[in-house]
Amino acid sequence: MSSFRTLDELPAEQRVLVRLDLNSPVEDGVVQDNRRFSRHAETIAELAEAGHRVALMAHQGRPGRDTFVSLEQHADILAEHAGVDVDFVAGTFGDDAVAAVRDLDAGDVLLLENTRMTDDELPEKDPEEHAASDFVETLAPEFDAYVNDAYSAAHRKHASLVGFPLKLPSYAGRVMETEYEANTAIAEREFDGDVTMVVGGTKATDVIGVMEALDEKVDRFLLGGVAGELFLRAADYPVGEDVDTELFDEQWDANEETIRSVLEERSEQVALASDLAYEDADGERAEVAVDDVVEKTQSFLDIGSDTVADYEPIVRDSEAVFVKGALGVFEDERFSVGTVGVLEAIAETDCFSVVGGGDTSRAITMYGMDEDDFSHVSIAGGAYIRALTGEPLPAVELLIQSAETDA
């Protein structure tokens, strides 16, 4: 199998340009610390300790959104995790940025400003076109090597992700390496026993696409969240409709045909909830068997306890479990039973396990589970979905191509 080069192959004393994914939640202008910082910190510490001159690039938000902010705060958060100083320069490839890059000594780390503040970054373009942009043409000559650690942004064809590999010897950072291996496992690895996929969350359209693409690879799908209710709706239960939400009807229209065909052709592959949880008149968690739902009058916020009990043994008997999406609104402790129950069952077994999607993996920290009990907790969302279905990631392809061209 063709592959990319890793930091193990990076020559000594390089001037390295490193692409990270530090895209983070921002609340009232304050950047929220999250796994992306702690993960990338390891790559940075390794490069700094090895004595390379390190310039970092990353994006934050998109123009027009309130998450579109400077990376100044990111530098401090990153420094704290990495245990090395991270300087910040308020430019991406202007004169100040280039001067700061030229000023780097061995072991220094510098973070350049939000790549999406340049006009060259965002348009989805072919690598050749990006490689000819001012952004890439200006920065590339200042470096000996390019390291891409931004697996979670690798589905984007942006300048900082696909332009530089055409100009510089390119390497995968540690996060890129780990994420790539774990997230492609479902598409590339052969497992001896059953492969189970936990499918939930609110983006039903995404996960239903994954289910369709993975029918040969996955033995059992355990459903919850919005997709779970839509499947129940297809099985003629009066659930999966919008009462006080706007999550169901539109995604039903978009996926009805696929859902019906999955249920018709492979119903034994799909495990649906036998009970659901909702908030009763006293604000307490209450549960109802799906057979007893006569009419949908309130929102369901979690799978029920019987369903968790049905799902646990399936998890325990699996050789591999991949999680995409939460089974309920776990942020509210009353409705965390499904998500936490299934994650704990995964943690307790020694199956190969990957938990993907920024949101779901937050439940692990929130409810005091140990990340080490999972084979991999991914920091990727869109890239994780694409990896599961075996869709190539442009920025990863470029790393592989760079390794082949230089070989």
Task: Compose the 51-80 pattern: x for residues touching ligand 3PG by CB under 6 A, - for all others.
Answer: -----------x------------------
List phi, psi (to 5°) of 56: -110, 140
Residue 241 near which of ligand 3PG, Mg ion, none (CB within 5-8 Å, type-dependent): none
Residue 167 near which of Mg ion, ligand 3PG, none (CB within 5-8 Å, type-dependent): none
Nearer Cβ to ligand 3PG, position 74 or 296?
Answer: 74
Residue 65 near which of ligand 3PG, Mg ion, none (CB within 5-8 Å, type-dependent): none
For Mg ion, which residue has the nearest CB? 373
Task: Compose the 350-389 pattern: x for residues touching Mg ion by CB under 5 A, - for all others.
Answer: -----------------------x----------------
Nearer Cβ to ligand 3PG, position 204 or 379?
Answer: 379
Nearer Cβ to ligand 3PG, position 23 or 170?
Answer: 23
Stretch of residues binding ligand 3PG (CB under 6 A), selected from 124-132, 152-160, 209-217, 286-294: 152-160
Q: Quick check: 87 binds Mg ion (CB under 5 A)?
A: no
Nearer Cβ to Mg ion, position 287 or 373?
Answer: 373
Residue 373 near which of Mg ion, ligand 3PG, none (CB within 5-8 Å, type-dependent): Mg ion
What is the spatial distance between Cα 267 and Cα 83, in angstroms, rounded to a whole number? 51
Q: Quick check: 382 binds ligand 3PG (CB under 6 A)?
A: yes
CB of 65: closest distance to ligand 3PG in angstroms?
9
* Residues forming a β-bridge with 318: 194
Stretch of residues binding ligand 3PG (CB under 6 A), selected from 149-157, 232-240, 257-265, 362-370: 149-157
Nearer Cβ to ligand 3PG, position 62 or 189?
Answer: 62
Binding ligand 3PG (rule: CB under 6 A), the pick from 92, 118, 152, 299 is 152
CB of 23: closest distance to ligand 3PG in angstroms?
4
Q: Quick check: 344 binds Mg ion (CB under 5 A)?
A: no
Binding ligand 3PG (rule: CB under 6 A), the pick from 4, 5, 10, 23 is 23
For ligand 3PG, which residue has the nearest CB? 23
| Spatial CB neighbours of 283, under 8 Å, sequence gap ≥ 6 | none
Stretch of residues binding ligand 3PG (CB under 6 A), selected from 148-156, 317-325, 387-395, 396-404: 148-156
Three-state SS sequence of the chain = CCCCCEHHHCCCCCEEEEECCCCCCEECCEECCCHHHHHHHHHHHHHHHCCCEEEEECCCCCCCCCCCCCCHHHHHHHHHHHCCCCEECCCCCCHHHHHHHHCCCCCCEEECCCHHHCCCCCCCCCHHHHHCCHHHHHHHHHCCEEEECCHHHCCCCCHHHHHHHHCCCEEECHHHHHHHHHHCHHHHCCCCCEEEEEECCCCHHHHHHHHHHCCCCCCEEEECHHHHHHHHHHCCCCCCCCCCCCCCHHHHHHHHHHHHHHHHHHHHHEECCCEEEEECCCCCEEEEEHHHCCCCCCCCCEECHHHHHHHHHHHHCEEEEEEECCCCCCCCHHHCHHHHHHHHHHHHCCCEEEEECHHHHHHHHHCCCCHHHCCEECCCCHHHHHHHCCCCCHHHHHHHHHHHHHC
**Total residue count of the chain as it appears in this document:** 407
Nearer Cβ to ligand 3PG, position 11 or 25?
Answer: 25
Output the six-digit token pair for 20.
């990270």
Helix axes 204-213 and 249-266, enclosed angle (nearest 10): 20
Q: Quick check: 153 binds ligand 3PG (CB under 6 A)?
A: yes
Binding ligand 3PG (rule: CB under 6 A), the pick from 163, 225, 228, 381 is 381
What is the spatial distance between Cα 259 and Cα 322, in angstroms, rounded to a whole number? 20
Q: Quick check: 317 binds Mg ion (CB under 5 A)?
A: no
Residue count, binding to ligand 3PG (CB under 6 A): 8
Please give the residue ranges that form the binding site for ligand 3PG (CB under 6 A): 21, 23, 62, 152-153, 156, 381-382
Please give the residue ranges that form the binding site for Mg ion (CB under 5 A): 373
